[in-house]
Amino acid sequence: MKSIIVNTAGLDKIKLKNSWIYNKEIKSDFKDIKDGQLVRVLTPDKKFVGIGFLNPKSKITLRILTFKDEPINKEFFIGKIKNAFEKRKPLFEITDAYRVIHAEADGLSGLMVDYYNGYLSIQINSAAIESFRDYIIQGLIEVLNPKGIYEKSDEKAREKEGLQPSEGLVYGNIPDKIEITEHQAKFVINLKESQKTGFYLDQRKNRKIVSDYTQENFKVLDLFSNSGGFGIHCGLKGASFVKFVDVSPNAVNYIEENVKINKIKEYQIVREDVFDFLKKEIKSQQKYDLIILDPPPFAKTKNEKEGALRGFKYLILNSLKLLEEGGYLAVFSCSHHITLQDLIDTTLQACKDTFSVVELREFLMQDVDHPYVLNIPNSFYLKGFLIEKL
């Protein structure tokens, strides 16, 4: 196994057990190392500090796999999978759908694995993980005994790693529709047609928290509703009416199916861009008791942050206009580049423009099967809050 030497900046990150090392944090030349090749990682004075995958084509040039001097074989990956699986066991009482592997937060940078009632959806988004694909698939089968595994890797992430797109059946069989449960709610998903790995499992805890504020006769507006998770939980908690808004025809179809299996009777599904919808809804003078704002990532890079915050201000400002006094607004961002303070500051600007006063009721973040490891800043991405309009 070849060796590479990190500089002082790289060593500082390694001391924090941060597994992402960039090109500028590597001291030695690595032109003769192949994409995804295992290397021993050394300090500037050539002391061993870890083993990682090196990919000269990637912005994340080195991904540390272990900080120990240990063999990297099938047993290594099985150990990682078992450890991650054990951590998820407390969730078994409330759901049969959860994330098993959350990339570097579970020690496997570039790998995400979701479990859906006996079936797995996986993303292999790094050359590092791709080079050990067979070990990982074998480990997942041995530990989780799934009925089927479907790969839904991120095409853009793989492109950055110098990899070809990859999607399709990996093992067993995958039905067109899988039914999952979450607390008292049921959802139908399609691993082949869905975005990402199937369902937004990271919002599980937040769907419960937000819906617990629902009271009888509440009118609920679920914006960027995807398959209807928030609105359906609110409907099951006694909301008298739920309006779902999403631009995706695929999402709208699944909302329709999900409201039926949950026996939600009073609802409306609007297939429309949320920004356009809000313009019309303001004119209608409709009011709601609970509004959920859970948009897709507006800022995938730092350069997009300013525009994203303008979009958030528009959404929050108009949601406040539609909100009854004493009503609740849940705001989320899944963009790593937008901080919780950014959301708070943007909400204050919207309050100023609408003469609103709001009280913070809950801080919200990703659920426990999407762990936030403090040493790995990028593992914290989903943040939000629930506020009450006074």
Q: What DSSP string describes 157-187?
A: HHHHTT----EEEEEE---S-EEEEETTEEE
Give the pLDDT score at 198.
65
Secondary structure (3-state) at 209: helix
**DSSP run (H or E) holding 346:** helix 340-354
Residues of the chain with confidence (pLDDT) below 50: none
Q: What per-residue confidence (pLDDT) applies to 366?
A: 97
Backbone angles phi, psi at 3, to 5 degrees: -120, 150
State the amino acid at position 115 in one-letter form.
Answer: Y
Q: For 203-224, how does the pLDDT look when each residue is reduced to its tens digit (9 = 90+)?
A: 999 999 999 999 999 999 999 9
Token digits for 98?
Answer: 């959860």
Q: How far is CA 258 from the centre of its chain?
A: 21
Instruction: Report the run of H or E that residue 97 belongs to, with start and end.
Output: strand 97-102
| pLDDT (0 to 100) of residue 196 | 59
* Residues sharing a CB contact under 8 Å with residue 86, sequence separation 6 or more, in sequence order: none
Q: Which pLDDT value is given to residue 98?
A: 97
pLDDT at 29: 85
DSSP-derived pairing of the beta strands 119-124 and 111-116: antiparallel
* Burial annotation 151-182 (CB, 10 A radius, 16+ → b, else e): bbbbeeebebbebeebeeebbeebeeebbbeb
Nearest to residue 143, comparing CAs of 186, 84, 187, 103? 84
As beta bridge partners, residue 152 has 167
Residue type, 365: M
**How, if at all, do strands 241-246 and 323-333 pair?**
unpaired
Provide φ and ψ at 63, rounded to 5°. Answer: -115, 115
pLDDT of residue 78: 96
H/E element holding 210? helix 204-211
Domains of the chain: 2-66 (2.30.130.10), 74-178 (3.30.750.80), 200-389 (3.40.50.150)
User: Considering just the CA atoms, what is the radius of gyration of the chain in Å?
Assistant: 22
Question: Which amino acid belongs to residue 26?
Answer: I
